[in-house]
Structure 1
């Protein structure tokens, strides 16, 4: 009972906010700048795309593995701490490796354990706020703030030092993340419904879930050129590292604002319409990057659309999973969303973008194809009957 009360305390919510800050801050360092780091190590755009794809595949294995343990044991916090420690430990090997396969294995192992962190943090947070969507959004937005702060910092340090700066920042952030998880509390198992004999596959095989997860996968495929090559693209267009960091931070700042409004928007328009409009705006975003990125106002608009292409899509997707899977399978439902949408979709998008990019010569066609995938995702959502989607 004492542990449960501690889980509901303001102090624990602060620690959860800091966990999100550091977790997404780490993504704010590696997602935009891993391509810059690898380019500095002499890798070609095809090799960068292949490495991105291979390490992204770990997002297929990891979430389901850790979620199954979490749902059966009810020990989400222990799995979170275990993942945070092994993420830091495996990341340290990157300081001594330089070959393609050495870095691929190191980043792959790091990503495998890194996938234990976000789903379990989401589950612990939802339990600690007793499912209150407004409180959840206020905790979760600190992840977006962390992304902004670390992205801007990393961009500046790349300008001042070198393309090696991201791995030094990441090492410090991952160590801090592990230390913070040691101070977290979670609600006792009696406060939650643990998995019984019923199988999750009964829910997974429905047309509504298949439509949802296919649309999520298509959207993540469309993110391939952006996640893998946006920083290099901006550099090719003569933007400095600091300017690139500011542009990425602008997108995440828009995401912070949308997180504050997401609960009301989803309640008013429903999950289906929220996803549909957000995916259409994502298609517009990639089209702007394809044809007008050399004009900074178009680039600013495209970054502001990140509020929809990531922020609102993610909020609506978590809302769908929260209601569709219920307490019993929520952790595994989030794992499926992460592993299939971000894992399969992200790997395919990164690999395809790497093949097309051609040292920046294929940028326009890469973002044009991304536009098509975003439109396909919107089309998939449009065909899901509204009566099956949460209101």
Structure 2
């Protein structure tokens, strides 16, 4: 069987590391197709903006359950590569239901199933990659970088494909990318996993049930609520304003490029300003970003500036949040702390935001109200952080 019984040398080989980079490229490339353009596809199928918001909310709920379910299976079985392959196969299989199913509940079922299996992919890919580069951890960032490259390439390609063909283009591109992702996993070798040095007893809730963490999570939830208008309707918004699909693709690629740059600077900036104020500044800039998108997006330079701010809205905030979780929970609860953060903030916050923004959007008539809602929820996210003493976020 491909990838079975791999020696450390095989797992660490140049070919295997290239395959891992390709897998990252395809995984994040798929996000570059669906995250910005799923709304365009659904709009083309005759969905109202409220239906689009409701569908997004329903499929986002799987992000609450999925990561913990798959992580538990991988931990108990010790077969991360098998889980990765199974998740990839089931993802492409269930996604292809969109070619036969139609209507709100049919497409909701297809995308919800796809998302449930999709959540199995990245955690196992991360663990597998870290094990393969254990002898030289610096190579991880060079492999992971290809994920951002994939997002940029596929976002631009899909935007152009919509211009050339129709709003159906994203599902055809997605099917090809997901099939490629599954095929790539078949040829990956699994590195030797690290044995756990200690067993952990006790509950994570004792650590989580404290004011600093609760305030941090409230802030993270409200920030993800604020992102829903952008994730769900940005491509439709720019189309309604007269921008081409290719221009939208380039704008989305610019945001990811800015994100890459800020990741390289994040460590230094966190040392200078501290976690609390980096998070606060990032969220404050995000609130400004959403407001100017709502009032002045007809000016291309405003759109360009708002996409550059994505470096802080997502890149810097994510880097600082991951570091806070890492430091706050310590080695004993690190993994479960990250899972808790992703499940609640992105799952619950994303679902609430998707439902609200879909209700407010009203086929574009309510675009100002939707972005104003996003700006206000981002401000609330910043206010929650003010209640956390800076010293409590430093360890």
Q: What's the offset of the Cα at 1:98?
A: 1.1
CA separation of 1:13/1:226 partners in 2, compared to 1, >3 Å: closer, same or farther?
same
Take 1:140 and 1:259, find their aligned partners in 2: how far apart are those partners?
Answer: 12
Moved more, 154-163 or 130-139: 130-139
Q: What's the offset of the Cα at 1:183?
A: 3.3
2:382 aligns with 378
Take 1:22 and 1:278, find their aligned partners in 2: how far apart are those partners?
Answer: 29
Please tell me whether residue 148 in structure 1 is matched to residue 125 in structure 2: no
**Matched residue SS, 1:350:** helix
Take 1:132 and 1:279, find their aligned partners in 2: how far apart are those partners?
Answer: 34
CA contact (8 A) 2:6 2:190 kept: no
1:176 aligns with 180
Please tell me whether residue 166 in structure 1 is matched to residue 153 in structure 2: no
**Matched residue SS, 2:202:** coil
CA separation of 1:190/1:143 partners in 2, compared to 1, >3 Å: closer, same or farther?
closer
Q: What's the offset of the Cα at 1:367?
A: 0.6
2:277 aligns with 273
Please tell me whether residue 100 in structure 1 is matched to residue 104 in structure 2: yes
Structure 1 unmatched ranges of 5 or more = none
Aligned Cα root-mean-square deviation (Å): 2.4
Take 2:301 and 2:291, find their aligned partners in 1: how far apart are those partners?
Answer: 14
CA separation of 1:190/1:245 partners in 2, compared to 1, >3 Å: closer, same or farther?
closer
Moved more, 14-23 or 273-282: 14-23
CA contact (8 A) 2:51 2:358 kept: yes
Q: What's the offset of the Cα at 1:364?
A: 0.6
2:71 aligns with 67
Moved more, 341-350 or 124-133: 124-133
Q: What's the offset of the Cα at 1:108?
A: 0.3
Take 2:368 and 2:170, find their aligned partners in 1: how far apart are those partners?
Answer: 27
Take 1:149 and 1:352, find their aligned partners in 2: how far apart are those partners?
Answer: 31
CA separation of 1:185/1:276 partners in 2, compared to 1, >3 Å: closer, same or farther?
farther
Moved more, 78-87 or 185-194: 185-194
2:216 aligns with 212
The normalised TM-score by structure 1 is 0.92
CA separation of 1:216/1:74 partners in 2, compared to 1, >3 Å: closer, same or farther?
farther
**Which of residues 206, 227, 235 in structure 1 aligns to 2:231?**
227
Moved more, 189-198 or 303-312: 189-198
CA contact (8 A) 2:39 2:232 kept: yes
Please tell me whether residue 313 in structure 1 is matched to residue 317 in structure 2: yes
Moved more, 272-281 or 159-168: 272-281
Take 1:278 and 1:297, find their aligned partners in 2: how far apart are those partners?
Answer: 20
CA separation of 1:62/1:189 partners in 2, compared to 1, >3 Å: closer, same or farther?
same
Q: What's the offset of the Cα at 1:306?
A: 0.9
Aligned residue pairs: how many? 391
CA separation of 1:266/1:134 partners in 2, compared to 1, >3 Å: closer, same or farther?
farther
**Which of residues 30, 33, 36 in structure 1 aligns to 2:34?**
30
CA separation of 1:85/1:40 partners in 2, compared to 1, >3 Å: closer, same or farther?
same
| Cα-to-partner distance string for 1:358-390 (whole Å, 9 max, x where unaligned) | 110111111111011111112222322222324
Take 1:106 and 1:126, find their aligned partners in 2: how far apart are those partners?
Answer: 32
CA contact (8 A) 2:132 2:192 kept: no
The normalised TM-score by structure 2 is 0.91
CA contact (8 A) 1:53 1:346 kept: yes
Moved more, 279-288 or 347-356: 279-288
Structure 2 unmatched ranges of 5 or more = none
2:119 aligns with 115
Q: What's the offset of the Cα at 1:231?
A: 0.6
Q: What's the offset of the Cα at 1:206?
A: 2.8
Q: What's the offset of the Cα at 1:56?
A: 0.7
**Matched residue SS, 1:297:** helix
2:21 aligns with 17
